[in-house]
Amino acid sequence: MMVREKSIFSDVAFPYFAAKFLSTFALSIPHAILTPILLSKGLSLSEILKLQVAFSICVLLFEIPSGAIADIIDRRIVYVASRAILAIFFIAVMLGSGFYFLLSIWSIYGIANALESGTLDAALVNNAKNQKRNHPTSEGRVSWLVRRESQFNFSGMLFGSVTGAISYPYIGYNIYLFSFCATVLAIVSVVLFFHIPEQKPQFNSDFKFSLGKLKHHVDDTTVEMRQSPLLKRFLLLTVLIESFMQLHMQLWQAIALENSIGENRLFLLYATFIAISAFSSTFRAEKIIGSTTGAATVLLAVTVCIFSLHKYTGHLYVISYAIIVFFLIIFLNYCTIGVRRNSSIERIGSVTSLVSVCSRIGSITTLIISSQIIEHISATQVFCYGSALITVILTAFGLFIRLSRSS
């Protein structure tokens, strides 16, 4: 039986959704013009890439420990700390300059990003699981949470990008003041209005934090992952889908230019893809691809659209690419729902962070490989061949799962 959805504004999750929107809005404001901002601060393109490398390294180093920390202590405290660091980051970028200063600031930004993982989103999933024990009608709650979180995330991305693109020519670096204020409002939303029992650790309440206990918790998380066939399946699926997403995010502009989409229309195309991503999150992913028939139909549609990019330009290209984006988000939400449903209440933060780290490694690997191949073939070809390979792996993985179930 499906959960009956009440008004989202009266739901206990709304303060978190509002904070999610505000945080993504804040991060997206400088997104479209980040390279010009950093170039104007005296950085070279090589140094800008080094900032991104430092960010990625810090996320990888801190994400798993941060998930364990969120499991052990108050999730709301960890989330608020991550947003407070993010607010400091925005002010520092606005006021500071110089490569080494910005390198340190981008490293701190990576830590803030890692700290957010497995905090309030995990608390809400645990809340849904606890409700299910007493109220069977809450079966679809986890799916609802994932879809709504995704919608607020993409909405914040869209409004933030538009705000940054419009405001930067007039106020320059001061756009970071918008980001700072939005982040402060996100903190206020959570501190004043987010209150559920699951934000605090419900198990081992006397479990005081220490490095030894942190390591023990991470070890238990690894054991849980190894012993759960479902978590391992969703981990592999997430890595594959995130690799697919990495190809999309890194190459969509180059592909658009190759397919006769003018530079002046890139932002409109970007906004279209975000709107489609938000729209796709209104659908229950587990209903669409939870069955073999549904998954096979989606993979077939995506495959046809991938190879259509070679043939079509203009509107037909946009339609084909939009269908790919639509189903990518469906698959991504399906993976997120699967991981959160099958994680234990005690270690959901650590499991979420572990899956995120593995998917980041997969994405970075995909980026490195594609950066080498693109020197020899077009961006469209790189995307088509890479996507086709991932689709084949997904299909083979699905067949293996089906055969293992029937044997």
Q: Distance (Å, rounded) from C-alpha 91 to C-alpha 97?
A: 12
- 324 and 305 in contact (C-beta within 8 Å)? yes
Q: Which residue blocks in 228-265 are alpha helix, DSSP H? A: 229-258
Q: Which CA distances in Å does 41 have to 44, 52, 86, 89, 388?
A: 9, 16, 20, 16, 40
The pTM of the full predicted model, rounded to 2 decimals, is 0.84
- The list of the chain residues with pLDDT below 50 reads 1-5, 136-137, 205-207, 407
Closest CA to 117 of 170, 61, 176: 61
**What confidence score (pLDDT) does residue 139 get?**
56
**What confidence score (pLDDT) does residue 19 get?**
96
Report pLDDT digits (tens) over 294-320: 888 888 888 888 888 777 677 777 888
Across the chain, mean pLDDT equals 83
**DSSP code at position 4:** P
**What confidence score (pLDDT) does residue 208 get?**
57
Domains and CATH numbers, the chain: 11-209 (1.20.1250.20), 222-407 (1.20.1250.20)
Q: Is 192 exposed, middle or buried (0-12, 13-18, 19+ CB in 10 A)?
A: exposed
Q: Which CA distances in Å does 228 have to 235, 339, 361, 371, 403?
A: 11, 11, 21, 35, 18
Q: Distance (Å, rounded) from C-alpha 58 to C-alpha 105?
A: 11
